[in-house]
Structure 1
Amino acid sequence: MFHFRFVLSTLLFPFLFFAQTSPKQFTVKYTEEPLMIDGILDDPAWRIAESAHGFQQYFPSDSVPALQQTDIKMLYNATTLFIGIKLDTEGDNYVIPSLERDYRAGGNDNISLLFDTFNDGTNAFLFGMNPYGVRREALISNGGAGPSGFITSWDVKWQGETKLYDGYYVCEIAIPLTSFKFKQGETKWRFNSYRFDMQTNEQSTWIEIPQNQLIYSLAFMGDMVFEKPLGRSRTPMAIIPYTNGIAGKDYENNEDMSKLNFGADAKVSIGNGMNLDITVNPDFSNVEVDNFVTNLTRFEVSLPERRQFFIDNSDLFGSFGNNRDANPFFSRRIGIAENLDEETIENGIVAGIRLSGKINENWRLGLLNIQTEEDEENHIPSNNNTVFALQKKLFSRSNLSFLFVNRQTFKEYDFLEEMDRYNRVIGLDYNLASADNTWTGKFYYHKAFAHELGHRDGSGGVDLRYNSRFLNFGLRGNFVGEDFRSDLGYIRRDDIVAARPYIELNFWPKKGKLNSHGFRFEPNAIWKPTMNYQNTDYFIFTGWQAQFKTQEELSARLFNRFTYLTDPFDPTGTDGGVELPENQGYYYTSYEVEFQSDRRKVFSYSLEPGYGDFYNGTRFSFEGDMSLRIQPTVFLSLGMNYNSIQLPEPYESADLWLVSPRINITFNKSVFWSTLVQYSNQLDNLGFNSRLQWRFAPLSDLFLVYNDNYFVNTIMPRSRSINLKFTYWLNI
């Protein structure tokens, strides 16, 4: 069992004081001269600009200068940061899969710029462009430690143009200073840039980053020094009204789904570092549907948040605890509920506010309050949902964070049990990140409160990781008490104590086709405290993975598992099927291999077959995808997941299919059409989602969305709708 005193004792680890060597830097000159954003860089002001140059190769080597160099110049005035970039190339055969904003960077030509405006090595703003002038922006949190801290759904207004030349291309960018958050009077931001050049098969960065670290890690950054201190950021208030008309029918329940909604969001800047978001009668209908998932586990699947209201500074609220077993706040809990048939339905939101951001260089604050509607017909009360988070920076890049979560109804309902009238969680997390990112980790403890809650009401854990070029290891463990409860969180299962250490060895051949390869050994074990700490699960992972210099990837994996079922379970999910009995253990071994082709190619694919024991039977699995790029307008893809589960009589056997073809067409940088078809016989659903989007003004859209769902076996309709949604971003 992990104790709170042990968690606090880790604050004094000596390795927290490691430091980087002196970084590169350049001066950002102040100018009053006008600049035209046209991708030409012929304005006189550019002649005085200093530059960030001397890019280093990140892939395929991380120890030589980049073959194709990049030169980044910057200027600023009282309102705007201007950026001019010259990118050398060996030709004009660029890889551009799409003209749609917020593209994925991997596998195509582009450049990204990272700005750590509070110099904390924890959070940053990212802006990117490709040779055709397509833009993207993102928020980076948790020091850039992984994909969960890379949020591309963030949007902000800025301007950028490109121009193609013989042997290079130019990006010219103007970003309003109001798009950033920073301290008034600041004279320095931390900065880095990374670039993908597909013709040379090269990835490069301004600040040298070892390949064992992520290319967007905030531990490796230089300095951009402003010639004059920055003034106050006068971010205009933004009003974002919407109207949404839906015509549709739920055939399964014979209900009319047609409705007309109006509402609005508002964004108000408070000082240079805080945002106040306000929403009234928000529309959280998905213009982009969630991906179907084949679930062969006993547990709920966690899907990512897509709603814009919850995006800014989302790490302040959602990064507490353990995302695998016990995350005390999971924003997708708000706005959904279960009806009397235990089906998930939408639970309307009346209004909400969200205050988040930097108080000063060392403190961050987050406050969220949302009121949901009552639905007495389905025994759903009106709830007030509150989350408060406070974060204090410690040492170079670490922080200590406090969390308070409260879900409460203030009205008396006959159908509501006393223990369900409120639920609260308080917690403390220490997030560790050394200056050079060699040591990272988390140490946390949370406690739940509810009426007549039992004494096993805590959750805590330790996750300490060491990351070097040749050796990586992790000491990880956590517990979730039988009575720990977070109504606004994601609790995969309770009453567990888990240990998940791992060790990894990596090799970097100097010759041959391999860029790197390595071995990983990861034993996992889970015990159940209320059963005298009986071992109910173990999972031993042994794997080898390799990356080729031509960007293909190959891996092989061996899994040794033990599962003790404490409840009956049918892994096929067959309706009314015979379940495997409870209080019985199963030992099973399986194998997988995976190959990923070169994503730079016009046609690319991945293959992942697997076979082995599965509980008391066998399982053959195949997962793969194919994509075809007809650049830059059309992108076609097909995803497939197949599982053949064969269990002995009288238990269920099944062939489970999940097939999802998709077509994306970008007519230009303002009009996009995408269609996704998803077939899942496990979910008994064949779904069609076709979306036409017109971005008629910056961050303002008109969507026309058609959704159609059918039962798989009978091809009878389940639901059908057409949705016309209009949003407009108005600065005041």
Structure 2
Amino acid sequence: FDTQSNEQSTWVRIPQNQNIYGLTFMGDMIFEKPLGRSRTPMAIIPYVAAGTFNDRENQNQENRLKVGADAKLSIGNSMNLDVTVNPDFSQVEVDDQVTNLSRFEVGLPEKRQFFIDNNDLFADFGGARDANPFFSRRIGIAKDTAGNTIENPILGGVRLSGKLNPKFRLGFFNIHTQKDEANEIPAFNNTMLALQHVVFARSNIGFYFINRVAFGSDDFITREERFNRVLGVDYNLISVDNLWNGRFYLHRSFQPDVSGKDLSTGASLNYNSRFYGGFTDWAYIGENFRSDLGFIRRDDIVKGTTGFSRTFWPENSYFNNHRFQVVAQQIWSPSLDMQLTDYTFRGSWEARFRDQSQAEVQWRSQYTYLFDSFDPTGSDGIELPAGSDYYYNTIRLGYGSDRRRIFSFRGQSTIGDFFNGQRLSIEAGATVRIQPKAFLSMQVNYDQITLPEPYSSADIWLIVPRIEITFSRSLFWSTLIQYSNQRDNLGINTRLQWRFAPLSDLFLVYTDNYYVDTFSPKVRSINLKVTYWLNI
């Protein structure tokens, strides 16, 4: 990459419209002699974590000492066995807070290393947005008796993943979580088997089985919580030249006292050439389909999305390329005689300039039918009634500067209708890179929701400064501050990491949270964790 001249050079020819980071067009490295079998290394990574936790709202303070270990064993050259006992994730950076103006749950990315390794083998089934049967964030998180999301500690687990041969991948895990009787959370055993085999030139067929079983016979375990099993098969189409790709899947769930309408199925097809692009994506999710370890935003839908795009590559212009795109999406409810419940039509123009800056203009027209009452501001005000429907239009403008520069910025604004009112949204961000010592960033989101009386209006702020400092090759410090008045939380997370030996670390993590309206304290914790990598 020659960033000064904006030139990219590759070993093998990659078409200009294709992803330069993907494996599609990689060449084959052929060695003069076979590499032979490696020895079978084994690593044990014990840890000790000590900390203090203070729930100042409920006047609950406790000191914690936790000991556990991970183990890694290479089986041949392409398989890995991972074992974890009493894992601790206190050193993992806290989740990014987001402003949620939708009716649905937000899927946050996985940050725990045990679940990240080879995660695509388990998570790449179904439809990523609407019908993902496995979402690793479900493991180790549960709801308490008040419906709040809390940690559900993992007692231990094993994971086997890798290649059995150049065309056959295998993934298996079994993870057991702890019983929490005070919060009426049973112990769960979570198992998944995933298989993937290459067919034809580059396509593959995948199979998976998920089994989640509750242990014990406590009175607080409902019958429907006893078990949830999901079985599915996916066919992933990838053409030799990568112009065509698609997915076809059929999944079924099994749970107590449920029969029928328990399927999730879909098909998608994408075409991507230098000048033209198009896709169609269809999904059906039955009202009884359930995956306790998945991310299913809503059930009882038939969803269809289709889009077309035209890309231009002008010569001797300020543009590197620019693109026009139109996308239409409809959602119907099978249980209501295929009533149309949502539609979105959007048209957009996107441009990439020679200096690597970007611009976008988008117009969107939407229709929404509310099955349940809903407060668009998320402020516990008077809710829009169930059974009502709304038509609204918005326009969005966005610009991002050249990210190669020491200082870069981005911003976008959305204005238009929002249910029965108006919306003005402004998102802005800036970064400063002082290589190799520091990375500084600031994100500011502002949403003004104006609804007619008697419904609530709101000014929603999300402010997120971030600081990352590299003192040396072994000493690092990062701080994340998040202010969200929608969540009524000001969170501070600061972490000092000392890598005192190869792959061995000492972490000191301080976390503090406050209510923003009264600036009164909520929860504070300080954790010290030491991990050490032992090769055997």
TM-score category, normalised to shorter length: over 0.9
**Residue aligning to 1:582:** 386
Give the one of 125, 131, 134 matched to 1:326: 131
What is the rounded CA distance, in whole Å, between the counterparts of 2:36 and 2:434 in structure 1?
Answer: 46
**Residue aligning to 2:486:** 682
Give the one of 420, 430, 434 matched to 1:630: 434
Matched position secondary structure for 2:241: coil
Displacement, 1:235? Answer: 3.9
Q: What amino acid is aligned across from residue 476 of structure 1 in structure 2?
A: D
1:705 equivalent in alignment to 2:492: no
Matched position secondary structure for 2:9: strand
Displacement, 1:587? Answer: 0.2
Q: Is the 8 A contact 2:2 2:8 kept in 1?
A: yes
User: Following superposition, which runs of at least 4 residues in structure 1 exceed 2 angstroms of deviation?
Assistant: 196-204, 284-287, 629-632
Give the fraction of aligned pairs with identical amino acids, expressed as a percent.
Answer: 58
Q: Is the 8 A contact 2:43 2:73 kept in 1?
A: yes
1:247 equivalent in alignment to 2:78: no
Q: Is the 8 A contact 2:197 2:206 kept in 1?
A: yes
Q: Is the 8 A contact 2:91 2:509 kept in 1?
A: no
What is the rounded CA distance, in whole Å, between the counterparts of 2:62 and 2:369 in structure 1?
Answer: 44
Matched position secondary structure for 1:490: coil
What is the rounded CA distance, in whole Å, between the counterparts of 2:465 and 2:62 in structure 1?
Answer: 27
**Residue aligning to 2:266:** 461
Judged with a 3 Å threshold, the aligned counterparts in structure 2 of structure 1 residues 519 and 235 are, in CA distance, closer, same or farther, namely: farther
What is the rounded CA distance, in whole Å, between the counterparts of 2:202 and 2:407 in structure 1?
Answer: 41
**Residue aligning to 1:357:** 162
Q: What amino acid is aligned across from residue 132 of structure 2 in structure 1?
A: N
Give the one of 717, 727, 730 matched to 2:521: 717
**Residue aligning to 1:45:** none
Displacement, 1:590? Answer: 0.1
Displacement, 1:602? Answer: 1.9
Q: What amino acid is aligned across from residue 263 of structure 1 in structure 2?
A: G
What is the rounded CA distance, in whole Å, between the counterparts of 1:502 and 1:533 in structure 2?
Answer: 22
| Aligned pairs (5 A) from 1:173-212 | 196-212=1-17
What is the rounded CA distance, in whole Å, between the counterparts of 1:305 and 1:521 in structure 2?
Answer: 31
Displacement, 1:257? Answer: 4.3
What is the rounded CA distance, in whole Å, between the counterparts of 1:460 and 1:429 in structure 2?
Answer: 9
1:557 equivalent in alignment to 2:377: no
Displacement, 1:286? Answer: 4.5
Q: Is the 8 A contact 1:287 1:691 kept in 2?
A: no
**Residue aligning to 2:348:** 543
Q: What amino acid is aligned across from residue 394 of structure 2 in structure 1?
A: S
**Residue aligning to 1:160:** none
What is the rounded CA distance, in whole Å, between the counterparts of 1:628 and 1:217 in structure 2?
Answer: 28
Q: Is the 8 A contact 1:444 1:462 kept in 2?
A: yes
Deviates more, 1:582-591 or 1:231-240: 231-240
Deviates more, 1:200-209 or 1:524-533: 200-209
Displacement, 1:593? Answer: 0.8
Displacement, 1:223? Answer: 2.4
Matched position secondary structure for 1:493: coil
What is the rounded CA distance, in whole Å, between the counterparts of 1:418 and 1:598 in structure 2?
Answer: 56
Q: What amino acid is aligned across from residue 325 of structure 1 in structure 2?
A: D
| Aligned pairs (5 A) from 1:218-257 | 218-257=23-62
Give the one of 297, 302, 311 matched to 1:506: 311
1:615 equivalent in alignment to 2:434: no
What is the rounded CA distance, in whole Å, between the counterparts of 1:573 and 1:539 in structure 2?
Answer: 22
Displacement, 1:198? Answer: 2.2
Matched position secondary structure for 2:165: coil
**Residue aligning to 2:399:** 595
What is the rounded CA distance, in whole Å, between the counterparts of 1:277 and 1:236 in structure 2?
Answer: 12
Matched position secondary structure for 1:226: coil
Displacement, 1:285? Answer: 2.6
Displacement, 1:253? Answer: 2.2
What is the rounded CA distance, in whole Å, between the counterparts of 2:57 and 2:305 in structure 1?
Answer: 44
Normalized per residue, the structure richer in strand is 2
What is the rounded CA distance, in whole Å, between the counterparts of 1:229 and 1:313 in structure 2?
Answer: 26
Displacement, 1:365? Answer: 1.0
Q: What amino acid is aligned across from residue 636 of structure 1 in structure 2?
A: L
**Residue aligning to 1:475:** 280
What is the rounded CA distance, in whole Å, between the counterparts of 1:223 and 1:447 in structure 2?
Answer: 39
Q: Is the 8 A contact 2:90 2:509 kept in 1?
A: no
Displacement, 1:396? Answer: 1.5
**Residue aligning to 1:421:** 226
Q: What amino acid is aligned across from residue 654 of structure 1 in structure 2?
A: A
Gaps of 5+ in 2: none
Deviates more, 1:247-256 or 1:325-334: 247-256
Matched position secondary structure for 1:310: helix
What is the rounded CA distance, in whole Å, between the counterparts of 1:280 and 1:635 in structure 2?
Answer: 35
Report Cα offsets for 1:212-266 as digits up to 9, x if no partner. Answer: 1111121112222101011002241010111111112011222224211110000
Deviates more, 1:499-508 or 1:669-678: 669-678
What is the rounded CA distance, in whole Å, between the counterparts of 2:322 and 2:527 in structure 1?
Answer: 48
Matched position secondary structure for 1:315: helix
Matched position secondary structure for 1:530: helix
Q: Is the 8 A contact 1:472 1:504 kept in 2?
A: yes
**Residue aligning to 2:213:** 408
1:397 equivalent in alignment to 2:202: yes
What is the rounded CA distance, in whole Å, between the counterparts of 2:411 and 2:513 in structure 1?
Answer: 28
**Residue aligning to 2:248:** 443
1:343 equivalent in alignment to 2:148: yes
Report Cα offsets for 1:594-617 as digits up to 9, x if no partner. Answer: 100011222110010110000000
Q: What amino acid is aligned across from residue 527 of structure 2 in structure 1?
A: N
| Aligned pairs (5 A) from 1:498-537 | 498-537=303-342
Deviates more, 1:713-722 or 1:266-275: 266-275
Displacement, 1:693? Answer: 0.9
Q: Is the 8 A contact 1:383 1:408 kept in 2?
A: yes
What is the rounded CA distance, in whole Å, between the counterparts of 1:363 and 1:208 in structure 2?
Answer: 27
Q: Is the 8 A contact 1:586 1:615 kept in 2?
A: yes
What is the rounded CA distance, in whole Å, between the counterparts of 1:558 and 1:644 in structure 2?
Answer: 19
Q: Is the 8 A contact 1:703 1:724 kept in 2?
A: yes
What is the rounded CA distance, in whole Å, between the counterparts of 1:409 and 1:359 in structure 2?
Answer: 32
Displacement, 1:541? Answer: 1.3
Give the one of 192, 208, 216 matched to 2:21: 216
1:268 equivalent in alignment to 2:97: no
1:647 equivalent in alignment to 2:451: yes
Gaps of 5+ in 1: 1-195
**Residue aligning to 1:667:** 471
What is the rounded CA distance, in whole Å, between the counterparts of 2:124 and 2:62 in structure 1?
Answer: 35
What is the rounded CA distance, in whole Å, between the counterparts of 2:83 and 2:480 in structure 1?
Answer: 32
Q: What amino acid is aligned across from residue 108 of structure 2 in structure 1?
A: L
Report Cα offsets for 1:544-567 as digits up to 9, x if no partner. Answer: 000001101011000100000000
Q: What amino acid is aligned across from residue 332 of structure 2 in structure 1?
A: W
Q: What amino acid is aligned across from residue 598 of structure 1 in structure 2?
A: D
**Residue aligning to 2:371:** 566
Matched position secondary structure for 1:623: strand
1:295 equivalent in alignment to 2:105: no
Matched position secondary structure for 2:218: coil
Using structure 2 for the length normalisation, give the TM-score: 0.98
Q: Is the 8 A contact 1:287 1:705 kept in 2?
A: no
What is the rounded CA distance, in whole Å, between the counterparts of 2:491 and 2:508 in structure 1?
Answer: 17
What is the rounded CA distance, in whole Å, between the counterparts of 1:257 and 1:358 in structure 2?
Answer: 45
What is the rounded CA distance, in whole Å, between the counterparts of 2:274 and 2:234 in structure 1?
Answer: 28
Q: What amino acid is aligned across from residue 443 of structure 1 in structure 2?
A: F
What is the rounded CA distance, in whole Å, between the counterparts of 2:131 and 2:456 in structure 1?
Answer: 31
Pick the structure with greater CA Rg: 1
Q: Is the 8 A contact 2:91 2:495 kept in 1?
A: no
What is the rounded CA distance, in whole Å, between the counterparts of 1:674 and 1:414 in structure 2?
Answer: 45
What is the rounded CA distance, in whole Å, between the counterparts of 1:244 and 1:628 in structure 2?
Answer: 34
Paired residues, number:
536
